Each structure stands twice: as structure tokens, then as C-alpha cells.
Amino acid sequence: MSLLYSDPVFLKHETGDLPENAARIIPAMRRASQIAMHAHYRQRSWTEVSDAVLERVHSREYIRYVQDFCEQGGGHISEDSVVCPESYKVARMAVGAVCDAVEQIVQNKAERAFCLVRPPGHHAAPESALGFCLFNNVAAGARLAIEKLGLDRILIIDWDVHHGDGTQEIFWEDGQVGFLSMHRASFYQNTGTAAETGAGKGLGTNCNVPVEEGTSREQYCEMFTSAVEQLAARIRPQLVLISAGFDAHKYDPVGSLGLESEDFARLTRIVLEVADVHANGRVVSVLEGGYNPGALAECIEHHLLELASV
């Protein structure tokens, strides 16, 4: 059994004319709901994340700053991130979905989960919003798994076209959380070089795979397979989290690395194979980017069908 987290509340985070807007997920939500009726999915209800859990990733001062900024009417909370009065609650619901999914999977109440949430999270750092992201959803899930649920080895795999710089910062010196980011080289933020491998106890647990424009789909998948298998063998994760951005799709208006919708089924299968070997099949996937609504819905369909496969 797999779990699906999707709710109209995520349409209340209004961002004006940014590419990350409510309209981008509407076709995906409809498609996901249809799939859930026919595949092995159960749709979950949940509540927003608690302060105690959110503070495992973000400072109390930053959390209050986001709350106050939204309550005062919103606007540009960073150069490229916009919020409205509802955004604070919506962002806490996004983190809450991921944390509930992690609890369900770790407690063996389900094997896999997909969180169709927004705002995305992988650019959010402990004290700053960036790149459409307010709170780091996957980071909160990872910290919950370690600090509350008793796991000590987590692997986060980020295939968004942009480098997951916020997630990397959070776990830079953390030896219990491995982070792999496969992204377009020399792109937004211009971070995520192969030389960035972590520090202290986290040295060697951070892996970046920058991909040059023009890389073939087959070569991309081969690079992904090799990197995932190598880091998973090193980490031996008890749980795998996916930062599932779909903006490497060839029709994405923001990023793109030329991938087709069906390529994300292959990437999903690769992750599931690694999770079966090391993590008893435990996988929680979380939506990040993807800004062509039609392409996003297709990609998520392929992703969900693979996650539901037995």
C-alpha cells in the first residue's frame, strides 16, 4: 500500500505571476486523484507540522519572521519568493504532510508515499527563504526520522533541475543523512559542484552530479543510476526521501534537461531498487519543482504508477 498526500489547501498559497503558482499543480492533483482510485493508494488526512518538529530544521526566529510577514499581508519574502496571508499555514501543512508520511512509512503502516505539496522546500535554509521555498519539507522529514523515530541513516535523492542548496546546507556536517543532488550544471544559484562533498562528520555523505546541457537522456539515466547506487552503498539508508522536481522535463519553461515524462518512471524504479536493497522498500517522495502543468501531470502519473507497483 502506498499513501498519497494532496489537498486543495495547497492552492491557497498565492504567488502572483511566479512560475511556482497554484495553477501548476491543478492538473497533477486531478490526475493523482484518478490514479489513487485505481492503483494501490490510500489518501491520508493530516495536520500542520508542530513547532517542535519545524524547529529541528529552522530557527525559531526565522519561523516567527515568516509568520509575521504573512500575517502582515505578504509580498516578496525574498528576491524570488512571494507569500500571501495564507502562505504560512499552507507551508506548515506541506511540512506536516511529509512528516506524517515519514511516520507512517517508518512505522510500517505503508511502504511508500507521495506528497503532492507546495510551496516546495529544497532551497530553504535554516534562516532564509529562497527559490520559491519557505520551509525545507524533506529536511524536516529526515530530522523527524532520526530524532524521534530512531533511525540513524537516511538518504535524500534530489533530481530537481536546480541544485538542492538548502538541503545541502542543512546536512553539510551531518553523518547520518546522505544527500545526492542531480541538477543542471552552472544554473540557478551556481552551486552544487562535484567538489562539494560535505564537512566534518558529513564529509563524503554529500554528492552533487551537475549535468551539462545537451546530455542525452540515456547518459543522464546512467549517471543517475551510478551515483545513487554508490552513495546508497556508502550510507546504507533505512529510509529514502526523494526531492521530486520534474523541471528537467524537456518542455519545462524554467529549467529543462531534455527528459521525457517516461524518464521519471525510470528514475523512480532506480530509487525503488536501491530502497528495496537497503531500506526495506521505504520511500517518501515530495514534490519540488515542475512548471509546465501538463508535463508535470504526466510526470507525476509515471512516478505514482511506479511507486504503487509491487
**What tens digit of pLDDT does each residue of 119-153 get?**
999 999 999 999 999 999 999 999 999 999 999 99
Please determine, for residue 10, whether its predicted confidence score (pLDDT) is greater than 80: yes
Where exactly are the structural domains of the chain? 2-308
Domain 2-308, CATH? 3.40.800.20
Q: What is the mean pLDDT of residues 83-97?
A: 99
Grid cell at residue 80:
524570488
User: Which of left, alpha, beta for 131 (phi over 0: left; psi -120 to 50: alpha)?
Assistant: left
pLDDT score of 310: 60
Q: What 3-state class would DSSP assign to 237?
A: coil
- Reduced to 3 states (helix: H, G, I; strand: E, B; else coil), residue 196 is coil
> Does the structure show a pLDDT above 90 at 188?
no
More confident residue, 219 or 187: 219
Q: How far apart are CA 180 and CA 205, in angstroms?
A: 8
3-state secondary structure of 52: helix
Q: Cell 552544487 identifies what position? A: 192
Peptide bond preceding 119 in cis form (omega within 30 of 0): yes
Residue 104 scores a pLDDT above 70: yes
- Which phi and psi angles does 249 have, rounded to 5°? -65, 145
Calculate the average pLDDT of the chain.
Answer: 97
Q: Which of the residues are catalytic?
A: 123
Report which of 21, 257, 31 is spatially closest to residue 162, judged by C-alpha positions.
Answer: 257
Who's near 19: CB < 8 A, 6+ residues apart?
132, 253, 254, 291
Checking if the pLDDT of 206 tops 90, the result is yes
The pTM score is 0.97
Helix, strand or coil, per DSSP, at residue 94: helix
Mean pLDDT of 206-221: 97
Distance CA 284, CA 114 (A): 6
Q: What is the pLDDT of residue 189?
A: 80
* Strands 75-78, 2-5: pairing kind: unpaired
